[in-house]
């Protein structure tokens, strides 16, 4: 694109005011969707382009190219930044918003103001479809101020007369009238749009499961959308088998909840060191509420003051963008505690009567709680299929139908059935929600925990150990296939994952903990090493420029062609003869070194160039001077001398 100045005399300040709605829309989009990694560089580049006087020529082809580049950048941000949230899935909303950014920026640079403002308002409309951010009103206020700034730039609206004022207000009213209904429509149709898209794409949900839910419903019909690959956590160091967030100890036959007694209980992590304990680091990439997913047997959480609730779940006030150090029992064992009360063996009478014969038949040979739990765990793992679509309609309760007929289901149902069956035979059991991390990156040793890793399992109280022990009845052989979990990514895939994971961590830190990022960068030895290298490089450049000015001395001129010819002369000596002038070395001294190194013939060619150069510098006649050809002759002579 052309970077030439505009034909009409337009000040940079005027152009900045004209583009203020575009800047405001970028800021609003960054606030609403957390897309700072996209909007901040674009806004900075747009500012630099305006200050440099860049004005490309508009064409439909360039508009399509800008949209394609913006859409590609928006799609790339899905992997390296926070995916946008809204009425459309991130796979659609990310590229769409990126394309609007590209359209608005190009039209703004080309001074197609109406088009630029239109695309900016469409971006605003998509950004306003996000709810729950306290910064949105402030960002929207900046959009309004930018419109006012445009209307009064250099008194333009005041000079336009009544017709101009009416026309401008009509334009703003049309844009606002289109944007606000669009926002309301997006809010009203959010559920329909999401459901339609997921049906068309075979169910790629932005995330569901038991990992962060406060209630687990058990119905005869259920459909769990396939969990998205959106990353939530990065766990480095030792890889945990499971991460716990919620414990459900009360079941009414249709839903699992946390009792008030368990919710109100306060515990303290066993901080003493134990043999074989593991250490790991956990980075939270996006908001998870107040519950911090931690392994069973967590002894210490560094970087925050945790509050430990009943069931050994950890609650924190803030976690977004933060990295926590965890010290965990070597075998992921929960701390010992007193035997639970009757709440963990309670069931509705009708459900208990229906499930007891099934439980006794499946655990009849098991004498201890551990043996009964292992028998039921193996029964579900080996005899069932995992499915996101659950249909348990039939005779009796959904859990009884599941057990009797071995119908397909997902983790919440398997865990619920196992816990309910154990309760009917007086074995204390509860359901736990959290995450089951996938494999580790072999290059970094880090595990990325995604939304689709949400999981539910059972914890059984074993009197011989005096603690709760985890049992997982989910049939894993079919779970990974149903959720789209792939196998090993190979070396190249591991490298890409390592890079994107690092960018996600820095992106989360930039979005949620900017001051912590500044401190981290300021305390990094690598940062100061780069600063030192940059300083030395800058100093070296100044020394070289000063040396060049001294070298030119009396013969240095202001004519660009003369300076270019002399610079090429010095480059030829360096490239072909390895000669670089010293800080105080004159041209005659450099010429004598050339004579000693390459002979009189080559030195005579260089001398003729210097003579022509001085003639052109001091007596004019630049156009007729032969110094261009003489530099080429010097280059050819040096190459010929080298070959001889």
- pLDDT digit string, tens, across residues 174-197: 555 444 444 444 444 433 343 343
- pLDDT number for residue 624: 55
Q: Is the pLDDT of residue 472 over 90?
A: yes
The verdict on residue 523 lying in a domain is no
What whole-number distance in Å separates Cα of residue 137 and Cα of residue 558? 55
What whole-number distance in Å separates Cα of residue 54 and Cα of residue 542? 28
The verdict on residue 507 lying in a domain is no
In this structure, the answer to whether residues 451 and 573 fall within a common structural domain is: no
Element holding 127 (H helix, E strand): helix 113-128
- pLDDT number for residue 172: 56
**Mean pLDDT throughout 279-298?**
89
Query: pLDDT > 90: what percent of the chain?
Result: 27
In this structure, the answer to whether residues 186 and 263 fall within a common structural domain is: no
**Average per-residue pLDDT for the chain:** 78
In this structure, the answer to whether residues 186 and 224 fall within a common structural domain is: no
State the pLDDT confidence band at 359, using cuts at 50, 70 and 90: very high
The Cβ of residue 304 has, within 10 Å, a number of other Cβ atoms equal to 15
Highest mean pLDDT among 163-172, 323-332, 420-429, 490-499: 420-429
The tally of domains found in the chain comes to 3
What whole-number distance in Å separates Cα of residue 319 and Cα of residue 69? 34
In this structure, the answer to whether residues 279 and 167 fall within a common structural domain is: no
Pick the range with the lowest mean pLDDT from 119-133, 362-376, 603-617.
119-133
The verdict on residue 297 lying in a domain is yes
In this structure, the answer to whether residues 192 and 220 fall within a common structural domain is: no
In this structure, the answer to whether residues 145 and 264 fall within a common structural domain is: no
Query: pLDDT > 70: what percent of the chain?
Result: 76
* Residue 302 DSSP label: E
**Mean pLDDT throughout 56-81?**
83
- pLDDT number for residue 165: 56
**Which of 425, 453, 485 lies at the terminal end of a domain, its last residue?**
485
Give yes or no for a contact between 84 and 33, defined as CB atoms under 8 angstroms apart: yes
In this structure, the answer to whether residues 273 and 366 fall within a common structural domain is: yes
In this structure, the answer to whether residues 304 and 349 fall within a common structural domain is: yes
Angle (nearest 5°) at CA 292 between 190 and 314: 130
Domain, as residue range, for 119: 12-197
In this structure, the answer to whether residues 597 and 453 fall within a common structural domain is: no
Higher pLDDT, 602 or 224: 602
Secondary structure (3-state) at 548: helix
State the pLDDT confidence band at 17, using cuts at 50, 70 and 90: confident
Tell how strand 429-435 and strand 255-257 pair up.
unpaired
The verdict on residue 286 lying in a domain is yes
**Which of 485, 513, 548 lies at the terminal end of a domain, its last residue?**
485
Handedness of CA 490, 495, 499, 505 (dihedral sign): positive
Query: For 203-254, what is each residue's pLDDT tens digit?
Result: 333 334 455 677 888 988 888 776 677 788 999 988 888 999 999 999 999 9
The verdict on residue 165 lying in a domain is yes
Q: Is the pLDDT of residue 481 over 90?
A: no
**Which of 460, 485, 510 lies at the terminal end of a domain, its last residue?**
485
**Mean pLDDT throughout 495-507?**
78
Alpha helix ranges (H) inside 368-475:
369-383, 398-405, 411-424
Q: Is the pLDDT of residue 93 over 60?
A: yes
The verdict on residue 204 lying in a domain is no
In this structure, the answer to whether residues 360 and 225 fall within a common structural domain is: yes
The Cβ of residue 43 has, within 10 Å, a number of other Cβ atoms equal to 21
- pLDDT number for residue 140: 55
Region of 391 (left: φ > 0; alpha: ψ -120 to 50; beta: rest) is beta
In this structure, the answer to whether residues 68 and 133 fall within a common structural domain is: yes
For the chain, state the CA radius of gyration. 35
Pick the range with the lowest mean pLDDT from 48-62, 120-134, 281-295, 382-396.
120-134
The verdict on residue 530 lying in a domain is no
What whole-number distance in Å separates Cα of residue 456 and Cα of residue 432? 6
- pLDDT number for residue 117: 78
The Cβ of residue 460 has, within 10 Å, a number of other Cβ atoms equal to 24
In this structure, the answer to whether residues 87 and 131 fall within a common structural domain is: yes
The verdict on residue 202 lying in a domain is no
* Residue 333 DSSP label: P
pTM of the model: 0.57
């Amino acid at each position: 694109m052309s970077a030439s100045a505009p034909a009409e005399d337009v000040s940079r300040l005027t152009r900045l005011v004209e583009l203020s709605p575009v800047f405001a829309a970028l800021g609003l989009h960054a606030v609403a969707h957390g897309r700072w990694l996209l909007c901040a560089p674009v806004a900075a580049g747009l500012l630099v382009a305006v200050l440099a006087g860049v004005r490309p020529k508009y064409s439909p082809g360039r508009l399509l190219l800008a949209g394609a580049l913006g859409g590609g950048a928006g799609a790339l941000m899905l992997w390296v930044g926070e995916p946008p949230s809204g009425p459309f899935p991130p796979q659609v909303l990310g590229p769409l918003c990126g394309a609007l950014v590209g359209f608005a920026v190009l039209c703004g640079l080309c001074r197609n103001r109406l088009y630029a403002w239109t695309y900016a308002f469409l971006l605003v409309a998509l950004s306003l479809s996000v709810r729950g951010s306290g910064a949105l009103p402030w960002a929207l206020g900046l959009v309004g101020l930018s419109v006012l700034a445009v209307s009064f730039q250099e008194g333009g609206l005041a000079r336009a007369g009544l017709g101009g004022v009416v026309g401008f207000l009509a334009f703003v009213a049309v844009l606002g009238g289109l944007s606000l209904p669009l926002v309301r429509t997006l809010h009203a149709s959010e559920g329909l749009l999401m459901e339609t898209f997921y049906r068309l794409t075979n169910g790629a949900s932005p995330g569901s499961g038991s990992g962060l839910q406060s209630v687990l419903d058990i119905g005869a019909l259920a459909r769990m959308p396939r969990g998205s690959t959106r990353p939530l956590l990065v766990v480095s160091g030792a890889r945990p088998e499971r991460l716990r967030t919620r414990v459900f100890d009360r079941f009414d036959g249709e839903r699992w909840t946390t009792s008030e007694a368990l919710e109100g209980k306060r515990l303290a992590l066993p901080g003493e060191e134990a043999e074989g304990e593991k250490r790991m680091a956990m980075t939270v990439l996006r908001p998870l509420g107040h519950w911090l997913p931690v392994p069973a047997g967590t002894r210490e959480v560094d970087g925050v003051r945790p509050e430990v609730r009943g069931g050994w779940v950890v609650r924190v006030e803030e976690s977004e963008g933060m990295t926590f150090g965890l010290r965990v029992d070597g075998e992921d064992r929960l701390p010992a505690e007193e035997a639970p009360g009757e709440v963990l063996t309670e069931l509705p009478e009708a459900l208990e009567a229906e499930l007891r014969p099934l439980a006794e038949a499946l655990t009849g040979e098991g004498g201890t709680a551990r043996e009964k739990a292992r028998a039921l765990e193996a029964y579900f793992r080996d005899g069932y299929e995992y499915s996101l679509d659950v249909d348990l309609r039939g005779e009796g309760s959904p859990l009884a139908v599941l057990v009797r007929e071995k119908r397909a289901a997902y983790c919440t149902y398997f865990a619920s059935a196992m816990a309910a069956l154990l309760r009917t035979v007086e074995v204390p059991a509860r359901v736990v929600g959290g995450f089951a991390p996938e494999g580790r990156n072999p290059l970094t040793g880090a595990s990325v925990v995604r939304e689709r890793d949400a999981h539910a399992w059972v914890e059984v109280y074993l009197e011989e150990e005096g603690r709760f022990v985890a049992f997982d009845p989910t049939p894993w052989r079919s779970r990974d296939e149903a959720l789209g979990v792939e196998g090993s990514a190979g070396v190249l895939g591991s490298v890409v994952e390592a890079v994107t994971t690092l960018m996600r961590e820095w992106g989360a830190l930039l979005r949620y903990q900017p001051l912590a990022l500044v401190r981290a960068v300021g305390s990094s030895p690598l940062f100061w090493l780069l600063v030192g290298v940059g300083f030395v490089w800058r100093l070296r450049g100044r020394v070289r420029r000063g040396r060049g000015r001294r070298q030119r001395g009396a013969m240095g001129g202001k004519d660009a062609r003369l300076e270019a010819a002399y610079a090429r002369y010095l480059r030829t000596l360096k490239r072909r003869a390895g000669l670089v002038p010293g800080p105080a070395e004159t041209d005659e001294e450099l010429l004598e070194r050339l004579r000693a190194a390459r002979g009189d013939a080559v030195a005579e060619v260089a001398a003729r160039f210097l003579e022509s150069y001085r003639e052109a510098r001091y007596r004019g006649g630049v156009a007729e001077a032969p110094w261009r050809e003489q530099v080429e002759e010097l280059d050819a002579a040096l190459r010929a001398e080298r070959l001889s």
